[in-house]
Amino acid sequence: MRINVLTLFPNMFDGFLSESIIKRAIDSKKVEINIKNIRDYSKNKHKQVDDTPYGGGRGMVLMCEPIFEAVEDLKNKDTKVIMMTPQGKPYNQKKAMELSKCKDLIIICGHYEGFDERISSIVDEEISIGDYVLTGGEIPSMVVCDSVTRLLPGVIEDESKENESFSEDLLDYPTYTKPREYRGMKVPDVLLSGDHKKIDEWRKEEQIKKTKEKRPDLITEIKRKKYW
């Protein structure tokens, strides 16, 4: 997979791309992540990429031309273009799995007071990572890159992906490690039993219990009838 991220602040990605699973995925050529400076596509001698909004109002708005130029330069027949914006559809694990099957992504990071509305004409999808305001789309784009990259074949173990949170619209089950007892809190006996059938049953029960308590909104009506 190839991911091109369009941003005004490419240095923000230095640590993100040079650590942990993302770095290993890049080094093993499971994914190619390119950070592209939007200013490089500006034809203005001062590399200007934003201007004041027509009709008045505070702040600056990202201009059409540099983003159109960047997308047209990077796009191919397999490319899906995504804009990170608070007005986009809420991001979730299902969308991450869908994007992980794409061959080529362009992610546009907003900044300032938003995009010229005409930029949406070259975008396939607008995505939001939550109902709150950030200084720009860089951190949201990292969220997308991370969640998508870890789903690519060979990046992490398949078993880890199958059993993690949101895999069945359920939170993950509780996990424990040594010591067996700490400050009066003990590891559940079933996990020490060696009976894998009972362990699997316990984990499923705990997933349902935790989801009911912490995120009941995740359980659809069909699952509600099954789990409640």
160 located within any domain: no
Q: Do residue 180 and residue 145 come from a single domain?
A: no
How far does CA 17 lie from the centroid of its chain? 14
Which pLDDT belongs to residue 157?
A: 82
156 located within any domain: no
Q: Report how far apart, in Å, the C-alpha atoms of 211 and of each of 113, 145, 170, 225, 228 are.
A: 37, 26, 6, 14, 11
pLDDT band per the 50, 70, 90 thresholds, residue 180 = very high
Choosing from 149, 175, 204, the residue where a domain stops is 149
Mean confidence (pLDDT) of the chain:
91
Residue 134 has pLDDT above 50, yes or no: yes
What CATH number is attached to the domain comprising 51? 3.40.1280.10
Q: Do residue 6 and residue 103 come from a single domain?
A: yes
Q: How many domains does the chain have?
A: 2
How far does CA 70 lie from the centroid of its chain? 22
pTM of the predicted protein model: 0.85
**Helix spans in 126-195 (H):** 138-149, 158-163
Mean pLDDT of 137-165: 86
* 77: containing domain: 2-149
Residues 60, 143: Cα–Cα separation, whole Å: 25
Alpha carbon distance, N-terminus to C-terminus of the chain: 40
pLDDT band per the 50, 70, 90 thresholds, residue 228 = low
Residue 118 DSSP code: G
158 located within any domain: no
| pLDDT, tens digit (0-9, with 9 covering 90-100), for 66-92 | 999 999 999 999 999 999 998 899 999
Q: Do residue 96 and residue 123 come from a single domain?
A: yes
Q: Do residue 74 and residue 134 come from a single domain?
A: yes
Residues 147, 31: Cα–Cα separation, whole Å: 12
Residue 226 has pLDDT above 70, yes or no: no
* H/E stretch holding 84: strand 79-90
Q: Do residue 127 and residue 191 come from a single domain?
A: no
48 located within any domain: yes
Q: Report how far apart, in Å, the C-alpha atoms of 180 and of each of 187, 203, 207 are.
A: 5, 18, 21
